[in-house]
Amino acid sequence: MHSNGLTSTGMNNGDGMPSLGMDSPSLQRQMPSGDMNAAILCKTQNVLVEMRIPKNQGLLGASQILAGMNIASFQLDRSYEPVSVTPDSEQAASLLASNEETVIVRGVVAESKIQELEAQPNVIKVYKDTRIAPFNPVLLEKTEMDLIAPTDSSAGCPIATCDCSAIIPKGTIADVATYFGVDKIWAAGYKGQGIVVGVVDGGITAEGRPFVVGETIRRIPNVIGGPAYDWGTVARAWGEHGNMCATDVLGMAPEAKLYDCRISGGDSISNALRVFDWAIKQYQTDGTPHILTNSWGIYQKSWDEFYATNIDHPFTRKVVEVINLGILVLFAAGNCGGTCPSDRCGGDTGPGKSIWGANGHPMVMTVGAVNKDEQFVGYSSQGPAALDPNKPDFCSITHFKGYFGCDNGTSAATPIAAGVVALLKQAKPSVTQDEVKNALKSTAKNIGEPGFDQHSGAGIIQAKLAFDMLVPPTQLPHWSDWENLGGNNFSAPAAASWGENRLDIFTLGGDSNLYRKFADNKTWSDWENLGGFSLTAPAAVASQTNRLDVFIVGQQRNLLRKFWDGTTWSEWENLGGFCKQGVAVCTSAANRLDVFAIAADNALYQKSWNGTAWGDWTNLGGFCLSAPAAVCSSENRVDVFVRGTDHAIYRKSWDGTTWSSSWESLGGLWLYSPAATSWSANRLDVFAVGTDNSMYRKYWDGSTWSSWENLGGSTISSPSAVSRGTNRIDTFVVGGDNAIYRKSYG
């Protein structure tokens, strides 16, 4: 038979080989299962073909070369875009000289024709498209269970007693955070903000994504994308294993973002190769993902001996590319430890026979497992790994209540460690793979013999100790002393910032005019008179770069506005109203301003600018003794704070749709109006002046309020606060000498 100009060749047993051409009507058009056993009946093999092609030719170049090879039984998977890989050392020089590159294509070939395919001039090597699987003893509705004998004794345990009870949790994910000291890292302001973790796994069902019939209704927050067009919609293929891993990352780094890097669907190494290649391209575009967590691999050497034992396998080379680019990579050690191995391990269990392929590469972080009670988990794979004798690197915690009743396997331990790494990456953005690995290893708690051992590696990671090693306490954000900025001020100050190194402050002089002073790269300007006549302290906001809007209360108690457009100041604009106290302003979206004031009835009122026109005043209720404070922590999120009749601070919030139905009391007994600022979503910092004239702070970390913290000082005005970025706050008050004083956090 003929197809695409290629002649079919008979098999060794004399049977005629059916056409494998793309146009054959009887041929399955989709990529066959990655399960190698599924191809036995027709004696074909799912393969990856490493080829040399002219640079930048991609699929077209590979297709043209393959078409001329006359290997009738080879079927190219045209849905799989060729993946470029770094050539091995033997190929590098000749490829450079001929202006060629090395790419991987995917296809199916008759087993008897693999050697013939490999002998073609442009083919470097043919590899099995290896079967892969998640490392988790117990999965929801999993089709192929890993059976673990439930034991908890010293029999056969290499370190004291072992935990083999994979369905019995030893605490909750919150207990894991406490054990690691992660709660103390959170208190320092690090919860994973700005860090993106790629969960390379069986898929995630994400908040805000379409529902797929047959999938769980459970949804994971903070998922922002992925390589597949339908990212965030499926998780069932691996029994919601991806949802578990995502939950475990967020358990340690609740403000990190996630990519759904799905590799299920065929369950083959080619899927992982494609995802890692996507991660490289994404990183080159916007610097994310920062971390890739991998809780999967091969259980037996026989699944693919070349991948298991050879450092030059194309996927392993791709992992090295990713790390060299700057992405931090963790792999689970596996579930084939000698005490109670998974039944899928066959005879490949225990030291030297349980960590295969990229999972044990010298450059990756290879993660073993213990429980919160510091018991070694008896199925945690043991070194030496096939590619590195010094594996695993360390252990993380498994067997806790998380996404499932008991998140388990080295599968759970690895994303827990990845969440810890996210905190370290946020604290030290320049940190490298080696720095993170060494910090976690050098601060780990040893549970075996002193030093490294092949069972637990360096021991159990200690997140807070590693954090303190990478970011010494002296380098952590802290409050400065009070700085005197001078002036003779007759109102509380207002502050705004439109850049990392830019601060603008506004106040009233003895003539009741508005004055401005700004700092650019730490150099303060002189005071500038902006005119006007105000009865109350001003309010100011920077809605975009080089744009400022300032508000005051005029002589008729009407609201007045003046703005800076980057070149000149506008005239004063009369917005009407009757403002009994001062005003507050924030910007919750592009071209939107929300202004708040207290009217004659002591209720809080809101007036909004939508980019083209001002709306009417809206009554938000309450009974307020002072001017409000307002902050927009994210798009369409507004929090307003006032001082109530009991002199406590109260909060009311807008979630993008409605205002909260009641006022929340933050307690205290305060002299003046509060101030508020935010450096990220789910972060609020509120400031007030106590009866001792000291300034106090209370912050919201996304889940709880802190207690009030005394920041000292002796102030005779309301404070003002502004944030210029994560862990950066500038506060301003008027001292007893009428000068403005500044205190900064950063």
* Nearest-10 crossing angle of helices 269-286, 314-325: 20
Nearest of 595, 558, 593, 591 to residue 573 by alpha carbon: 558
- Yes or no: say if 283 and 324 are a contact pair by the CB < 8 Å rule: no
Out of 77, 146, 163, 241, the active site residue is 241
Query: How far apart (Å, rounded) are the C-alpha atoms in residues 277 and 58?
Result: 14
201: annotated active-site residue: yes
**Angstrom distances, CA of residue 529 to CA of 129, 181, 403, 506, 591:** 73, 51, 59, 10, 27
Out of 411, 456, 497, 678, the active site residue is 411
Residue 69, number of CB atoms within 10 A of its CB: 16
- Yes or no: say if 542 and 511 are a contact pair by the CB < 8 Å rule: no
At 158, which amino acid appears? P
Q: Which tokens belong to 512?
A: 């009741």
**Angstrom distances, CA of residue 514 to CA of 119, 167, 510, 546, 550:** 82, 67, 10, 19, 9
Secondary structure of residue 714 in the 3-state scheme: coil
3-state SS track over 86-154: CCCHHHHHHHHHCCEEEEEEEEEEEHHHHHHHHCCCCEEEEEECCECEECCCCCCCCCCCCCCCCCCCC
CA-based R_g, the chain, Å = 31
Query: How far apart (Å, rounded) are the C-alpha atoms in residues 118 and 733?
Result: 76
Query: How far apart (Å, rounded) are the C-alpha atoms in residues 8 and 151?
Result: 56
Query: How far apart (Å, rounded) are the C-alpha atoms in residues 17 and 8?
Result: 6
At 231, which amino acid appears? W
Residue linked to tokens 């993902």: 289
- Yes or no: say if 322 and 381 are a contact pair by the CB < 8 Å rule: no
Query: How far apart (Å, rounded) are the C-alpha atoms in residues 324 and 317?
Result: 11
Query: How far apart (Å, rounded) are the C-alpha atoms in residues 422 and 252?
Result: 8
411: annotated active-site residue: yes
Nearest of 385, 391, 359, 393 to residue 130 by alpha carbon: 359
DSSP-derived pairing of the beta strands 6-7 and 44-54: unpaired
Query: How far apart (Å, rounded) are the C-alpha atoms in residues 186 and 413?
Result: 20
The values of phi and psi at residue 125, to 5°, are -165, 155
Out of 129, 163, 201, 639, the active site residue is 201
Q: Which tokens belong to 639?
A: 């929090």
**Omega prior to 473 cis, within 30 of 0:** no
Query: How far apart (Å, rounded) are the C-alpha atoms in residues 731 and 492?
Result: 11
531 phi-psi bin (left φ>0, alpha ψ -120 to 50, beta other): left
Query: How far apart (Å, rounded) are the C-alpha atoms in residues 716 and 745?
Result: 21
Query: How far apart (Å, rounded) are the C-alpha atoms in residues 396 and 369?
Result: 5
Active site residues: 201, 241, 411
